[in-house]
Structure 1
Amino acid sequence: MPLLLATHNKAKLEELKLGTANLSPTLSIFSLDDLHISQDPEETGKTFLENSILKAKYYGKLSGLPTIADDGGVMIDILNGEPGVKSKRWVGHDGTDEELMAYTLLRLINIPIEKRLACLQTVITYFNPLNGTLFSETGKISGHIALRASSRPTNGYPYRSLFIVDKYHKYYDELTDEEHKKTNHRRIALERLIKKIKVNLIQ
C-alpha cells in the first residue's frame, strides 16, 4: 500500500512516519521529496480543516497516491484566535522559527500570563484519489503562551517553544517522552485517522 505523507517539514514528516508505520504490512511510505514534488497549493481555507483537505486533495491528485496532509497551528484567545491558519505566515511570509517566536512575544508584550490562554490544534486528512475516500480528524491541547521562549527549542515547531501545557505546567519542549505521547495533538489526531483508514481498507 503506497502512502504519501505530504509535508516539507522534516520534523513533522518523522512524526507522521512513526504514526503510520503500523497502518498496513504492505505499507510503502513516500515523502514529497521522494516524488520530487516541490510545489505547494495556495492555502485559501479559513480553517485548519479546510486547508488540511485542500492540501490532501492537491497532493493526492498530483501524485496519484493515497495521501495524508495536515494543517494546524496556535490560536491565542486574547488575539481573537490569531494566528490560526496564518501560524506559519504570521509575519507576512513563511517565517523562520526565530521570527515567529519573536513576533508572538511582541504581540503579547505587557499581557499578563493569566491572559495568555491558547491552544495548539491540528487537523489531519486522508485522501485517496483512486476512489475519493476522504477522512479528517482533529487533535487539540490547551495551555498558554509563556513570557519567554524555552531554552530547549524544537526545530520546525516554533510555537511549542512558547507553549506551556496546562496539564503538566511545563513547556511543550520540556515534556518527557511519555508525557509527549499522551499530549501530542498531531499524534492524537493521527491515531483516530488511522483507525478510520484501517476500517476502510477492510471493507
Structure 2
Amino acid sequence: MKLEKIIIASNNKHKVDEIKDILKGFCNEILSLKEAGINCEVEENGTTFEENAYIKAKAIVDLTGLPCIADDSGLEVDALNGAPGVYSARFSGEHGNYKKNNEKLLSLLKGVPREKRGARFVTAIALVTPDGDKIFARGEIRGIITEEEVGSNGFGYDPLFLVLGLNKTFAQLSSQEKNSISHRGRALNDLKEKLVSIG
C-alpha cells in the first residue's frame, strides 16, 4: 500500500519527528495535526493501546478524508500489575506532565529491588484509510526501571527506562539509537512490513 499523503494524529513534536524519521521515503507527505491545520482533541477512552490508537485515527479520517496514523504508547511495570499502562501520559493526574509522572512512578517503586523492577514499553499503531481499511501494528521492548532519572534525551519515562543489554536508559541514547530499538520503532517497522505485504 503506497500512501501519497498521511496525517499523524499527534502534535507531540518528539513523537511526530520519530514517526517521520522512520517512515521517511515511504509516504510522499507526512503531516502532523498542526501542519495539516487541525486543532482538535480526541478523547482516548479505550481500555487497550490498540483501541485508543484506532479511536484517534478514525476521528481524524472522519474529519479530513485523508489516511491517518495514530499510536498509543505506554509503560507497563511488572511490580504495579501493568500500570500505568494506557494511563501513562496522565499517571500523576495531569496529562503530559513528565516530571510528575516520573516522580509518582519512583515513589511507588521505592524500596522495590532491581530484580522486581522489570517493565516494558508498548506501542500500538493504527492506520485507518477513508475506504475503511484498518491496519494494526505493535512493538514492545523490555527494560528495568531505575531508581533515579538518568540522561537528558528523549521524553516521558525515558530517563527511568534502562534498556536490557545496553545498560543505558532511553534518555542516554541518541534519537537514531533509540529509533532502531524502541517500541515505537518496532511498531512502525511492523506496520511497514504489513503495508509492503498487501502491496
Aligned pairs for 1:22-37 within 5 A: 22-24=25-27, 27-37=28-38
- The one-letter amino acid of 1:15's match is E
User: CA separation in 1, counterparts of 2:174 and 2:5?
Assistant: 32
* Deviation (angstroms), 1:78: 0.8
Stretches of structure 1 that go unaligned for 5 or more consecutive residues are: none
Q: Deviations over 1:132-191 (max 9, x none)?
A: 11101100000110000013242xx22111000112122112235664343111111111
Which moved further from structure 2: 115-124 or 94-103? 94-103
2:60 is the counterpart of 1:59: yes
Normalising to structure 2: TM-score of the pair? 0.92
User: CA separation in 1, counterparts of 2:175 and 2:56?
Assistant: 29
Root mean square deviation of aligned Cα = 1.6
Aligned pairs for 1:34-45 within 5 A: 34-45=35-46
Query: Does the 8 Å CA contact 2:22/2:179 hold for their aligned counterparts?
Result: no
Q: Secondary structure at the match of 1:82?
A: coil
Q: Secondary structure at the match of 2:90?
A: coil
User: CA separation in 1, counterparts of 2:87 and 2:18?
Assistant: 22
User: CA separation in 1, counterparts of 2:22 and 2:101?
Assistant: 27
* Deviation (angstroms), 1:73: 0.8
Aligned pairs for 1:72-91 within 5 A: 72-91=73-92
Query: What is the aligned partner in structure 2 of residue 137 from structure 1?
Result: 137
Aligned pairs for 1:1-203 within 5 A: 1-24=4-27, 27-129=28-130, 131-154=131-154, 157-175=155-173, 179-200=177-198, 202=199
Query: Does the 8 Å CA contact 1:4/1:65 hold for their aligned counterparts?
Result: yes
* Deviation (angstroms), 1:38: 2.2
* Deviation (angstroms), 1:46: 0.7
Query: Does the 8 Å CA contact 2:151/2:169 hold for their aligned counterparts?
Result: no
Query: Does the 8 Å CA contact 2:18/2:179 hold for their aligned counterparts?
Result: no
User: CA separation in 2, counterparts of 1:21 and 1:193?
Assistant: 13
Query: Does the 8 Å CA contact 1:23/1:198 hold for their aligned counterparts?
Result: no
Normalising to structure 1: TM-score of the pair? 0.90
User: CA separation in 2, counterparts of 1:29 and 1:52?
Assistant: 17
Summarize the Cα distance change of 1:182–1:174 in structure 2 as closer, same or farther, 3 Å threshold.
same
- The one-letter amino acid of 1:142's match is R
Runs of 4+ residues over 3 Å off in structure 1:
176-179
Q: Secondary structure at the match of 1:109?
A: coil
